[in-house]
Amino acid sequence: MPSFKTRFFDWVPLLADGPQELDIALMRFSCEHPPTSIGLGESLHKDLERWYNWKATLNFKKQLKLLLQWAWIHDGLPGKIFINKAPAFTKRVDLLIELWPKSKFIYIERTIGHIESIEKSIKSFNKEFGFIEYIDDAKEDAKLTRSFILEKWQITKNLIPKNNLIVVNYEDLINKPIKTIENLKTFTGVSDI
C-alpha cells in the first residue's frame, strides 16, 4: 500500500508500514464485508443490501472473531474495552451479538449533512483504495445508502438488549461534546477516553 500523509476521509495519517484500518483488514480477508464495492468502483448501497442478507458462514464468523481480537490486541490495553466503529456492522448487529453477547452499542443519529458525508466518503474511499474508478452517481448512492441504513436500523436495533444501547444525537456530539462524551463514558464504563 502507498503511504499518505493523511487519509482523504478524516485526515489521519495512513502509512504503508503502519497499522492499517480495520475495514481494510476485513476487506482483505473477505469480499463479503462492505465497502468492498467502493474499491471496485461499484454502488455502496447494493453492497450493504447484499451484506445485510448474506448468511454468514462459520468460517467467516471465526475469521471475524480472530480479526477483531487481533485489533483489540493491537489497539487495546489489558483491562480496557475495545471500541469498533466500522459502520457496516450497523447492519450486522446479529453477528456481533452472536460472537460477543455482552456487546454494547453506541448509535450516532445524524440528519444534517449525513448524505453529503456519505457521498464524500464514497468518493474518498474509492480514490484512496479503489482498484477501479467509481462509476455510479455518488450523491444518489449516498441517498440510497442512508435510506437503507435507517430502514434496517429500525429492525436490527431490536436485537440489542435495552441496557446495551445508547443513541447519541450527532449535533449533541458537536455542540455539547464534553457532556456527550461523559454520558458515553458512563454508558461504556470507560474511565478515560
pLDDT at 67: 80
Residue 80 contacts by C-beta under 8 Å, 6 or more apart in sequence? 190
Q: Which of 121, 123, 149 is nearest to 45 (CA)?
A: 149
- For the chain, which ranges sit under pLDDT 70? 1-35, 73-79, 191-193
Does the bond joining 35 to the residue before it have cis omega, within 30 degrees of 0?
A: yes
Answer yes or no: are the C-beta atoms of 166 and 107 closer than 8 Å.
yes
pLDDT at 151: 93
pLDDT at 124: 79
158-183 pLDDT, tens digit per residue, is 999 999 999 999 999 999 999 999 99
Listing DSSP states for 154-175 in one string gives HHHGGGS-GGGEEEEEHHHHHH
40-60 pLDDT, tens digit per residue, is 777 888 888 888 888 888 988
Predicted TM-score (pTM) above 0.95: no
CATH T-level fold of 22-188:
Rossmann fold (3.40.50)
pLDDT at 171: 92
